[in-house]
Amino acid sequence: IAQGAVWYCGYFYTRFFMERVLKVDTNTVDQLVLAVTVASAFLYIFFGWLSDRVGRKPVMLFGMILALVSFFPGFHALTKAANPALAEAQAASPVRVIAATGECSVQFDPIGKAVFASACDIAKSVLSNAGVSYTTDVGSIAAGRAIVRIGSREISSIDGTGMDASALKAARTEVETRVKAALVAAGYPQTADPARINMPLTFLILMLFMVGATALYGPQAAALVELFPTRVRYTAMSLPYNIGTGWVGGLLPAASFALVAASGNIYFGLWYSVAFTLVAVIVSLIWLPETKGRDLNTMED
C-alpha cells in the first residue's frame, strides 16, 4: 500500500496539484515531469544496489519515512515556488464558505456518477476546482443557501437540488463565473505566472518526492520475491502489489479531492497518502522480515 501512496503521490498527484491547483501551464508541467523522470531513473538502480548491501527493509523504510516527513512541507514549498501569487493571495484575502447545517457533502465520487447539487456543494466544488483553500462556517445561514466570502466580497451560491442535468450545469457555471471574478479582483491568479515560477526549486522539490518513491520501489521486486516460496510466490506477490497500486494508488485522486472539498484545505488531500504510508511503516517495522541473502532454492514450500 505504501507504493500506491508514495509513488502515485510523488509522481501523479504532484502533476495534478500543479495543473489543477497551482494552475501551472501544462507544457511547463510536462517539462518538469519529464526532467524529473529522466533524472530519477538511475535512483531505482541505485536503491536496488544499496539494498543488496544494507538490506531491503532499511532502504524501503527510508523511502516511506522520507515521504512522511516531506509531503506537507514539500507541497507548501511547491506552492510558493510554482505559484507564489496564489500563496500571497491566500494570506491576504482568505476565503470562507458560509452554509446551513447538514448541506455540505463529502464529495467522494470515484466513478464520476454522483450528483452534488446543494448550494454548499456547488460552492465548495467551484473553489476546490479553482485550487483555493477555504474555511467553512456551518449553521449561520438559512437552509438552501450558501455564501462564498472572499476577503470583503460575498457571492451567493445556487441550490441546484431537484434541477435537471442541464439546469444544474448552468447553475454551476454561473456560480463559477461569479466566484472566479471575485477571486481575480481579490488578487488570486487565474494561472501561474511563468516569469515567477522558480523552476530550479520546483524541480528539486519534485526530485525530493521521487527519492522517497524510488527508495521504496527500487528494492521492492527483490523483497517480494524473497518473501515467499515458489509454490505461492506469484499469488503472494501480485495480490498485495495490485491492491497497493490499483486500489490505493488508483483511488488517490478521487479520495484526495474529496478530502480537499470537505476540509477546504488544498493540502488536506495529502492525508490520504500519509495515512497509508504510516500504516505501511508501522507494519514494516513490526512484521516485515529482512530478506536480503535468502537462498530461494532452499525456501520451504
pLDDT at position 299 is: 65
pLDDT at position 207 is: 96
Cell numbers 491547483: residue: 21
pLDDT digits (tens, 9 = 90+) for 251-282: 787 788 778 877 888 899 899 889 999 998 99
Give the residue-averaged pLDDT of 17-30. Answer: 93
Residues 6+ apart with CB under 8 A from 26: 19
| Higher-pLDDT residue of 45, 143 | 45
According to the CATH classification, is domain 2-83+193-294 in 1.10.10.10?
A: no
pLDDT digits (tens, 9 = 90+) for 67-94: 999 999 999 999 999 999 999 998 899 9
Query: With helix as H, strand as E and coil as C, how does the chain read?
Result: CHHHHHHHHHHHHHHHHHHHHCCCCHHHHHHHHHHHHHHHHHHHHHHHHHHHHHCHHHHHHHHHHHHHHHHHHHHHHHHHHHCHHHHHHHHHCCEEEEECCCCCCCCCCCCCCCCCCCHHHHHHHHHHHCCCCCEEEECCCCCCCEEEEECCEEEECCCCCCCCHHHHHHHHHHHHHHHHHHHHHCCCCCCCCHHHCCHHHHHHHHHHHHHHHHHHHCCHHHHHHHHCCHHHHHHHHHHHHHHHHHHHHCCHHHHHHHHHHHHCCCCCCHHHHHHHHHHHHHHHHHHCCCCCCCCHHHCCC
The domain segmentation of the chain, as residue ranges, is: 2-83+193-294, 92-185
Phi then psi for 153, rounded to 5 degrees?
Answer: -90, 145
Query: What is the pTM assigned to this prediction?
Result: 0.84
Please name every residue paired with 135 in a beta bridge, in sequence order, or none if there are none: 96
- Reply yes or no on whether the pLDDT at 178 is more than 90: yes
| Higher-pLDDT residue of 162, 295 | 162
- Reply yes or no on whether the pLDDT at 111 is more than 70: no
Percentage with pLDDT > 70 across the chain: 96
pLDDT at position 224 is: 82
Give the residue-averaged pLDDT of 15-44. Answer: 94
pLDDT at position 43 is: 95
